[in-house]
Amino acid sequence: MKDFINALYRNHALAYKLLLFISTTLLIVYLFPKSGKFKYNFERGKPWQSENLYAPFNFAIKKTDEQVATEKQEVKDNVPLYFNINPAVQKTVTTNFKKGFKNAFSDSIPYYKRNALNQSGTKILDELYRFGVLSDDIEHSETKKVIILDGRVEKEQTQFTNLTEENEVSAIITRILEEEDLLSYKNEFTSLFFDLVEPNLEFNQEFSSRVLQEELEKVSYTRGSVERETLIISKGEVVEGLKFQILKSLESEYESQVWNKSNYNWIVFAYTLLVTLALLMLLLFIRKYRLSVFENNVKVTFIFFNVAFMVLITTLVVNYNSQYLYVVPICILPLVLKAFFDSRLGLFTHVVTVLLLGLIVPNSYEYMFLQITAGIVTILTVSELYKRANLFISVAQITLIYIVAYFAFFVIHEGSVETLKWETFGLFILCGLATLFVQPLIYAYERLFGLVSDVSLLELSDTNSKLLKELSNKAPGTFHHSLNVANLAEAAANEIGANAMLARVGALYHDIGKMKNPTYFTENQSTGINPHDELSPTESARIIINHVIDGIEIARKNNLPDRVIDFIRTHHGTSMVYYFYVKEKEMNENIDMEDFRYPGPTPFSKETAILMMCDSVEAASKSIKDPTSSKIDDFVENILNKQMNDEQFLNANITFKEIQSIKKVLKQKLTNIFHLRIEYPE
């Protein structure tokens, strides 16, 4: 047991990665739907590419959503509305009319006229209450069927247009009085009936809704069935009409049927295998091609976290409504990874993530084609993310790629643009806008995972920062040297396609350790006094070498990111303080070379290798007397060749061709610094 604990302790980093791998796999599998997936791909209007397909089991042919919606609408149109009638209301209104008529029309009116007016009023009442007066304003089709209930007994059936609404009373009075040639008494009748008329019909909402629901439940979602072993479609047959509907029904049956415990476990096991393979490919890629990332558990956690996060967001959207699938800004993933690492790792992780999502999204081939294409465009177009204009231009290009690719797929599927859903283009635009959220997301990731992006590097490159101001005050010569090295490193990085911003920032901070003993470095000796004259060569070498250790301490105290500290650690590699070594050797033959050697490590990236070259060349260039182009060329060649012979670049992923390009840049820059020009005759 003790041996196991000791082994676990020695390999704790590997154990952590294994735990991270397993937990991420289980999380993704947990998010995936636990149902079967139809193994055939087919499109409407296209030939069936697989072999003859026979029904694997009995299943019903499902109607399309449009067919079901049409049938439900027909039910809604045909199901009657139910109203409750109150018979007592009409009797009360009739009684009140007889009383009110005497008050409304004076006795001075001739008898025959009063009798005609009375008959007209009775006729108006009969017309108003022939089917009933509504109590509420209800809007329905005029031909809508209506059933009037007296208690629970059906009293009468009619159409909605025959019911009287309160705002129609005046029109009915006018029509009948015109027929009776009594229109001059309209005001009296209107005033009379305004006080008399009361609604006697009340809409029975509860009963009407219950009847409607019962009828809707009778709507069948299927139209026949297919027996087991029945030929569904033959190879080469065009998928259309009923054939297409049967295939969609079979696909739906595969994906929605209730699985027993045994099948469920097999599905989970199969998903686990696929997710494990995908994540294993990603982990092996990181281990083989990005070993520095693999050895950093925080960075590996960051990558796996982003993969799981994208799967989570996409799964939530698919479960809610797959129509909004393309709103999810998947291209944020390669953007974020490129900001913190590099394009290659960003693209590979993006492809693996899209492959995982292809297991759960509808139209998986179309989805994967669009997302992988958009990811490639993202990697190719986004450079210098800290420049806001670049991000907006890249997002516009990504959105355009989405739209063009989706349009092409739609035309291939449908054969025309008549039924093109233009609102889908709006979803792509929303996706592009959501991609702009990458900037605040990068900032949040920097604080959460302690990483550094080019945006942070831009802030660190500000020479007005507290640390660089302190360097310029305490060691002005070193500060000026750092500025020159930064310019050289940036130009060299641009020449070979390295991270120019990272190289510049690393150069600005690489010598901050000299602030502790600035006068022990020649660039800061303005008085002509050299304190090394009072020290032994061994002591002098120790002070010179210690500026690397001092620089790391100052950097950590000021919370500089590890990517910048790497430049401080490696800018001298394992080279020697050769001047003091030779001086000590003149006095003592038996010396330890390690006392005069920097602790290292040697550069392990293109950017750190560039800094070592530029630092050595810039510092030594001050010793060139009467510089000429040929002297500068030989000078640069000698310094860089010596570093190569000392195997200082052995761990850096830099090629001979790139070193030759850097030599060319350094020669050109030094020539410009020394202002070399032709000599004019006096």
Residue 652, token pair as written in the block: 């850096």
Q: What is residue 25's predicted lDDT score, i.e. its pLDDT?
A: 94
Taking the complete model, does pTM exceed 0.75, yes or no?
A: no
Q: What is the mean pLDDT of the chain?
A: 84
End-to-end CA distance of the chain: 89
Residue 22 phi, psi (nearest 5): -65, -45
Q: What is residue 293's predicted lDDT score, i.e. its pLDDT?
A: 87
* 8 Å CB contact between 402 and 326: yes
User: What CA–CA distance (Å, rounded) separates 394 from 441?
Assistant: 17
Q: What is residue 680's predicted lDDT score, i.e. its pLDDT?
A: 47
Where does the pLDDT of residue 259 fall: very low under 50, low under 70, confident under 90, or very high at 90 and above? very low
Residue 4, token pair as written in the block: 């196991």
pLDDT digits (tens, 9 = 90+) for 149-185: 887 777 888 888 888 887 788 888 888 888 777 777 7
Q: Whose structure tokens read 């009287």?
A: 164
pLDDT for residue 44 is more than 80: no
Residue 81 phi, psi (nearest 5): -95, 145
Q: What is residue 480's predicted lDDT score, i.e. its pLDDT?
A: 93
Q: Which amino acid is at 331?
A: C
Coil, strand or helix at 72: helix
User: For the CA atoms of the chain, what is the radius of gyration?
Assistant: 43
pLDDT for residue 446 is more than 70: yes
pLDDT digits (tens, 9 = 90+) for 311-331: 999 999 888 887 888 889 999
Q: Which amino acid is at 405?
A: A
13 vs 416: which has the higher pLDDT: 13
Where does the pLDDT of residue 193 fall: very low under 50, low under 70, confident under 90, or very high at 90 and above? confident
pLDDT digits (tens, 9 = 90+) for 637-678: 999 999 999 999 988 889 999 999 999 999 998 888 775 444
Q: What is residue 24's predicted lDDT score, i.e. its pLDDT?
A: 94
Rounded mean pLDDT of 442-450?
85
Rounded mean pLDDT of 230-244?
80
User: What CA–CA distance (Å, rounded) separates 620 from 540?
Assistant: 19
Where do the domains of the chain lie, and which CATH numbers do they carry? 2-34+261-446 (no CATH), 74-216 (no CATH), 454-673 (1.10.3210)
pLDDT digits (tens, 9 = 90+) for 501-549: 899 999 999 999 999 988 888 888 877 788 887 888 888 889 999 999 9
